[in-house]
Structure formats: C-alpha cells, structure tokens
Amino acid sequence: MTRPVNEASAAFVLPLAALAMGHVLSNAVRTLPAISADVLMRDLGVTAEGLAALTGAFHFAFAAAQIPVGVALDRFGVRAVALTLVALVAVGAALAAIAGGPLGYLVAQITLGIGCSGMMLCPITLAAKVLTPGRFGLWTGLIQALGNCGMLLSASPLAYVVEGFGWRMGYWANVGLGVFVLGLVATVLRRTPPEPAPVRSILADAREVLRMTVSPRLRNVVVLGFCSFAVVIGMRGLWGGPWLMDVKGFSRIEAGNILLFATLSLVIGPALSGVLDRRFGHRRLLLVLGHGLAAVFLGLEVLGAGQPAAWDVVMLFCFGLAISMQPLIFALTREAISAEHVGRAMAAVNLSFFLGAAVLQAASGPVGAWGGPGAALAFLAGCVAVCTLLFMRLPGPR
C-alpha cells in the first residue's frame, strides 16, 4: 500500500530529480550517433546498415537487462541499483570514446545498454512505490520530460562538439556527466534498510517478469510499448540526422538545430501528458491519439522531402509532441499492479519498450540500405500505426 506523500516537499522531489538526471545521461549517450553518424561510419569503417546493427546492440543489451534490474529494484532498493548502473554508463562512454573499430564500439554499446537499462525505471519505481495510481501519471510525464533533456545535449551542442573536436569528445563529455550524476545520487538519496528476505528465489522473480510481459492484464500496453520508444530513438537516435543531412541537404549544424527543436517537443510533451492525465484522465484515449498522430506526422515528414526547413521543424516538433503521450503507458501499468510488485511490472513494460527498439532499429537497417533514411522513417511510422490499432483491440488496463 502506498503511503501519503507531500508531492511539493524537497524530500520527495530532490531524489526524483537526481534519479532523472540518470535518465538525462542515458538519453544523451544513446542519441549521440544520430548527429555523428557519418563520421562514426568513416572512423569505424562500417556502412549505415552496420552502424544500425552496432547501435541496435545497445537496445538488445538494454532489453536483456530489464529482468535482473526489475528484480533488483524490488529486492535491493533504488539507490543501490541506480549507483551501479550510472557507474556502468560512465565506463561504457569511456569505452566508446577509445573504440578503435566495430568490435570495441560494440562492447561499448553493450555496456552502455546495460548501464542505461534502469535510468528511467529508477525514478519511476521510486514514485510508484509512494504515490497512488491516480497521482502517478503526472510524475511519469515530469520524469520523462526532465530525462529527455538529454536529447537536447545531443542536438545542436553535440553538433558543435563533433564539428570542432570529433565524436569521441562527445563520449568523453558523457563520462564527465556520468561522474557528476553518480555523486548526485550518492548524496541526495538516503540509505534505506534492506528489505526483508524474500521467500521466492531470484529465478522465480525473473520468471514473473516474463509472465507479466505476456499476461493479458498488460498485453495492450506491452504491444504499444514495443513501437513507442522504437520510433523515437529510430528518428532521434539514428535516422533523423542522415535524413536531414543526406536527403534534405542541410549541414550538420543546421540538422542539429532542427533536431534541437524536435527534441524540445520531447521535453514539453511528457510534462503535458502528465498535466492532461491529472486534469482530464482518459489515458487510453490520449495514448491512441498520441501514437496515431505521431505516425501521421512522421509520414508527412518523409513526404515533404522537397519542402523547406520550416516543414521539418513543424512536422518533427508535432511528431515529438504526439508521441510524448507514452509515459501514460507506465501510468496504465501502475493501475494494474500492486506497489510491492511495481519494479517487476515496470521492468516488464520497459522490456517491451527496448526490445521493440532493438528489433525495429535492426529491421530499419536493411530498409534504410534499400531505400535510404526516408524509407527507414516510413517503416517506423507504419509500425507505430499497426501497434496503435492492436492496442485498441487487445485486452489490458483501460
């Protein structure tokens, strides 16, 4: 049972903000390849399809880590898990910075994927354990809004860094950010006594996470989650930069500026979703409208290959605003489970988020190799449309 909590108190807000900074770090490091894809391919000696496969390893590692991370959050608490994962992100960023070829970069992406796997789960789990389901929706939006600020760092700021100092310096900057977040979490989050020893084994807990992933009570949110983050990271983390530079003919700095505006919507949108949820409810309707419109706007972006920069700014901003209803997936999940199982349930849904990102990003590689960045973006838009229709028909939380 959740305990009463003062949502305006520093004791509640500061730990969430510190943990959300880990999500900032995660978003910064995972979207770095989008604005540096051309120099990454040149220096690592890979094709666009090869880079998609390398960065896709991040999401496979991320997805694979969801089960142990979800179990660990319920067993060992948020602070211990967060400190371990942030340290791994810093190590992974350093490995990427010194990578001499595809194998080294692959190892770095796997390390980063494991480290980033709980960066959103940690603050969401902390909030879910102390808030009622009705009050949880606002905070999922606020947490994701702050976390998505990491994508702002990898837009125009990173474009200048890549132009002036190379892509490796971008990763070194993330090492520094990781050390800062590690100290922040260690300082702000208080130590809590260990939970009572669980009766069940860790393997049994892991099996429960997998059962939750395929259970009827979460089926519709799992299916929607499969495409929801995949389309964001596919556009913002991989294909957005090549689309704007190779197809539209913009310079790296111009592409970075356009992606910066698009990313602003990914900061504003999640907070807006939380406000709409707190004021009006109708989470399922908001999710259907958001994902359906996201597919439409991304499709219009591809159809506007001959349009000026203003078209790209508007379409990508609207796409980001629409897809940002996705935090309500976690709010619907919270309605379906009890507080003591929240870590495992959130991990089950997050597993779908990042397994989808891994599968669909890997699938977009051959599509992009065949038809270019526009074809890859259109493929992702189609996946969102299909998953939205399935979400409307499948059983699950309403």
Q: What is the CATH number of the domain that holds 302?
A: 1.20.1250.20
- What's the rounded Cα separation, in Å, for the pair 394 and 219? 7
Residue 92, classified by CB atoms within 10 Å of its CB into exposed (0-12), middle (13-18) or buried (19+), is buried
| Residue 398 located in a structural domain | no
Q: How far is CA 66 from CA 90, 136, 178, 190, 380, in A?
A: 19, 21, 20, 24, 23
8 Å CB contact between 349 and 218: yes
* Alpha-carbon torsion (112, 23, 329, 262), positive or negative: negative
| Residue 164 located in a structural domain | yes
| Residue 197 located in a structural domain | no
Domain span at 19: 11-191+202-393
Per-residue model confidence (pLDDT) at position 302: 95
Per-residue model confidence (pLDDT) at position 384: 97
Please provide the size of the chain in residues. 398
| Residue 1 located in a structural domain | no
- Cα end-to-end distance, the chain, whole Å: 21
Q: What six digits make up the tokens of 101?
A: 């070829």
CB count within 10 Å of CB 14 equals 14
- What's the rounded Cα separation, in Å, for the pair 156 and 162? 10
pTM of the model as a whole = 0.76
- What's the rounded Cα separation, in Å, for the pair 283 and 262? 24
Of 267, 256, 244, 262, the C-alpha closest to 157 is: 256
Token look-up 């949110």 returns: 221
- What's the rounded Cα separation, in Å, for the pair 337 and 153? 35
Token look-up 């199982």 returns: 341
| Residue 284 located in a structural domain | yes
Q: Where are the strands (E) in the chain, listed by range?
A: none
| Residue 6 located in a structural domain | no
Q: What six digits make up the tokens of 218?
A: 């979460």
Q: How many domains does the chain have?
A: 1
The 10 Å CB-count burial string (b at 16+, else e) for 295-331 is bbbbbbbbeeeeeeeebbbbbbbbbbbbbbbbbbbbb
8 Å CB contact between 227 and 381: no
Report how far Cα 22 is from the mean position of its chain's Cα atoms: 12
Per DSSP, the three-state class of 92 is helix
| Residue 256 located in a structural domain | yes
Per-residue model confidence (pLDDT) at position 344: 74
| Residue 206 located in a structural domain | yes
| 389, HSE (Cβ side, Cα atoms, 13 Å) | 6
DSSP string, 254-311: HHHHHHHHHHHHHHHHHHHHHHHHHHH--HHHHHHHHHHHHHHHHHHHHHTTTS-HHH
pLDDT tens by residue, the chain, 398 residues: 445 566 667 777 888 889 989 988 888 888 788 778 888 888 998 887 788 888 888 878 887 888 888 788 878 888 999 999 999 999 999 999 999 889 999 999 999 999 998 888 888 888 877 777 777 777 888 888 888 777 777 667 777 887 888 889 989 989 999 999 999 999 998 776 555 545 566 677 677 777 887 788 888 999 999 999 899 988 877 788 889 999 999 988 888 888 888 888 988 998 898 889 888 878 899 999 999 999 999 999 999 988 999 999 999 999 999 999 998 998 888 877 766 667 777 878 888 887 888 789 889 989 988 999 999 999 999 999 999 999 999 876 66
